[in-house]
Amino acid sequence: MKKIIKFVIILLIVMLILQFGITLFKQHHSVTYKMQIDDKKAIIHEEYYHNKKDDYYLFNIAIDNKQFTFDFDNKFNKQKKVIKDIRIYEQDELMCISPLYVKNNDESKIYCNIDNRQYSYNYAKDKYDLTSFIATLNNFDKDKYNSINTTTTASNNKIFNKNIYDNEIVLLYEYNDLVKVTNKDNNAIKFADYDIYNNNLGILIDKYYILPKYENLPLYNSLLIIDILKNKVEEMPISLSTNIYINGVVDNKLYLLDKSNLMQYQIDPSKKKYEITGTKNNAAKYYDGKWSNKNIYEFYNNTLLFTKDFPLDDYIEAFEGDRAYYYYNSNNEFYKVYKKDLSNKIYLFKYDDINEVRVVNNNIYFICKDTIYRYDEYGIKPIIINNEFNYNYKNIYSIYYKK
């Protein structure tokens, strides 16, 4: 009898270890389940994804033929069927929902559908009074959706410090220095003793800002590589003509074409090294989602840039985030569409008179008139005001997130 009990205990331990191992190494699951909420039936399609870079759930919920697509970071130990209830609010053609999960309901989120199209909560709240719905939610933080409009002044900049994240750095190009703005302070990294007005070649790659050293024209004898975290400026010797342009950036390496010398260069700022990747006798590198080779005269004749096609329709400019694509159309309407669910595009916001759009860390940045704005899941907030942006906005700012 004792042997049988011992065997059963060992078997249970082995089964628990196997179950733990399966859960630990699970990369994906897909499950569909139904839920009755009062007189409505919700069909929930839940996908779980895990890879080296990300660990999250993607949901698509259908209620009365209205679709809601959203993601959620994995806080459920890879469990299945993690939505336990859904709060629903309706008003005319509007339906908003707020899911409740099996655990970690520390912040309630709202997702909205208007006339069978999904819209951001920020858009919906500006069109409808959602006060009564918000009152039913236990952990909805209204303050996060409000912009804090107090500013500090530094040089010519008015800075909305409280609208800047703790790990966010806004880098401003100011002709002979870079101004590094955080929510605590700002400081200048000087790179020249004279003003350089047209910043056609400055680019931030990871924590390194790269631009030519503008001396000994009409040649460049070196590139400046500025470590914005250490506030350190270093030179990388290289012989370039001034007739150069940027092909693109891949894997934190910069690709430049020197049209006068018919040379393509790959610059690695982290190692302060470069290599020649194309000449008139050897094809140059081209990237459009995959690598190929092209005759260097194609780069010379066409100002050929690295591009990537996106599976989207009707966009002026599109950007790739970690989980989704972001884009805007000719009406300056901004959308988000998940890579794993291209069927449901989500209307985020509309903003007229925009310039220099960027997507960094899944947030949208742009300049309108004299202000840099950031759009995140809590709405549009001003970051920096500078009258200079009215006249000179080309490549005037960059964004970095501390890791």
Which residue has better confidence, 137 or 194? Answer: 137
pLDDT at 172 over 80: yes
Position 5 confidence tier, pLDDT thresholds 50, 70, 90: low
Per-chain mean pLDDT for the chain: 92
Burial 348-371 (b: 16+ CB within 10 A, else e): bbebeebeebebbeebbbbbbebb
Task: Please answer whether residues 116 and 62 qualify as being in contact, where contact means their C-beta atoms are separated by less than 8 angstroms.
Answer: no
pLDDT exceeds 50 at position 296: yes
Is 290 a residue whose pLDDT tops 60?
yes
Q: Does residue 74 surpass a pLDDT of 70?
A: yes
- Burial (0-12, 13-18, 19+ Cβ within 10 Å), 185: exposed
For residue 186, what are its two tokens? 């700002």
Segment 109-130 shows an average pLDDT of 97
Give 244-292 as a 3 state SS string: EEEEEEECCEEEEEECCCCEEEEEECCCCEEEEEECCCCCEEEECCCEE
Residue 11 corresponds to which tokens in the numbers above? 């078997």
In this structure, what token pair is assigned to residue 151? 């500013």
Least confident of 43-47, 60-64, 184-188, 369-373: 184-188
> What pLDDT score does 10 carry?
56
Backbone angles phi, psi at 143, to 5 degrees: -60, -30
Please write the tens of the pLDDT for every residue from 314-362: 899 999 999 999 999 999 999 999 999 999 999 999 999 999 999 999 9
This prediction's pTM: 0.91
16: pLDDT strictly greater than 50: no
Predicted confidence at residue 218, as pLDDT, reads: 80
**What's residue 158's pLDDT?**
95
Average pLDDT rounded to a whole number, residues 292-319: 94
276 vs 162, 197, 259, 345, 394, CA distance in Å? 45, 29, 14, 42, 29
Task: Give the rounded distance of the alpha carbon of 81 from its chain centre.
Answer: 28
Which region among 96-105, 157-166, 213-222, 292-301 has the lowest average model confidence (pLDDT)? 213-222
- For residue 206, give Cα distances in angstroms to 79, 134, 188, 241, 322: 35, 39, 19, 25, 16
pLDDT of residue 13: 57
Quote the pLDDT of residue 23. 45
Q: Which of 170, 76, 99, 91 is nearest to 129 (CA)?
A: 91
Write out pLDDT tens, residues 228-282. Answer: 999 999 999 999 999 999 999 999 999 999 999 999 999 999 999 999 999 999 9
pLDDT for residue 64 is more than 90: yes
Among 117, 140, 120, residue whose Cα is nearest residue 379 = 120
- The pLDDT score that the predictor gives to residue 256 is 97
User: What mean pLDDT do residues 17-35 have?
Assistant: 70
Under the banding of pLDDT at 50, 70 and 90, the label for residue 52 is confident
Q: Calculate Rg over the CA atoms of the chain.
A: 26
Residue 21 pLDDT more than 60? no
Alpha helices in 50-95 (DSSP H): none
- Whether 39 shows a pLDDT value over 80: the answer reads yes
For 6-15, 38-47, 286-295, which range has the lowest pLDDT when averaged over its residues? 6-15
CA angle 118, 368, 172 (to 5 degrees): 115
Per-residue pLDDT at 336 = 98
- Fill in the amino acid letter for 387: N
CB 314 within 8 A of CB 329: yes
Phi, psi dihedrals of residue 402, rounded to the nearest 5°: -65, 135
Kindly tell me if the per-residue pLDDT of 20 is higher than 50.
no
